[in-house]
Each structure stands twice: as C-alpha cells, then as structure tokens.
Amino acid sequence: GSAMAAVRAVEIDPEGTFKYILVRLQRPGGGEQRDIVRGTKAAEFHNHIFEKVNPEMEKLGYECKCLGGGKIEHNSKTKKIRVFGLSTGYGKADHSVTVEILKKEYTDYEITWSDDKK
C-alpha cells in the first residue's frame, strides 16, 4: 500500500459543531492524489486547521491544497453528521464529496449535507 493510504481520511472532533476543511493531498509533480477531511472546535478560523495539516503533510512529502470549508455538526449519540456552511477564506467545499469521505469512516451514521449557513 502507498504511504498516502496511511494518512487518515477523516480527523474530526467526536462531538459538537465545528469548522472543517476539505484538503487535497498530492505528490509533487502530480500522480497520486487523495482528499481528506479535517475539523475541530479548537480552530477559530478555517485557516487554523490548514496551518496545522499542511506542515504535517509536507513532512510526509505531499503538497496540500484546501478545496474549501464549511461546518460539521457531529452528534455521536444519535449517530448523525450534518455538513453545511462555508469558509469565508477558502470558499465552500463540495459537501457531497465530504459526505462520501465521512460515510467510509462512519459507516453506521446518517450523514447529510446542505448549503444552509446554520
């Protein structure tokens, strides 16, 4: 397997509503690429998440590009995740892509998205 496959597709807080970004990892010079989801309440702004992910991925030899952001509402009790909103700085992520990535990780969850701001 590739080293890229070893990078976790999803790292989000287990509970609450928080900002998230969709990030594309790429080998310099093209070739292999992969989209990952990162979100945390610790981030006041979307770029705080990117500023943490980017150096981690550069160490592994990947270039990172933020494809946009939004918010995630994660309810672990009811096993529901809602993806919505947008990032002022990065624009709106394609939430449908985010949902597909989340579904692989949270297989028994109900996961939805919308363009709602709240």
Q: Which residues are catalytic?
A: 46
Handedness of CA 57, 1, 23, 118 (dihedral sign): negative
List, in order, residues 6 or more apart from 17 with CB less than 8 Å away: 41, 71, 72, 73, 74
Q: Are 22 and 93 in contact (CB under 8 A)?
A: yes
Structure tokens given for 43: 């981030």
Residue 65 is labelled as binding a ligand: no
Q: Are 51 and 43 in contact (CB under 8 A)?
A: no
Collapse the DSSP code of 87 into the 3-class scheme (helix H, G, I; strand E, B; otherwise coil) and give the result.
Answer: strand
Binding site members for substrate? 19
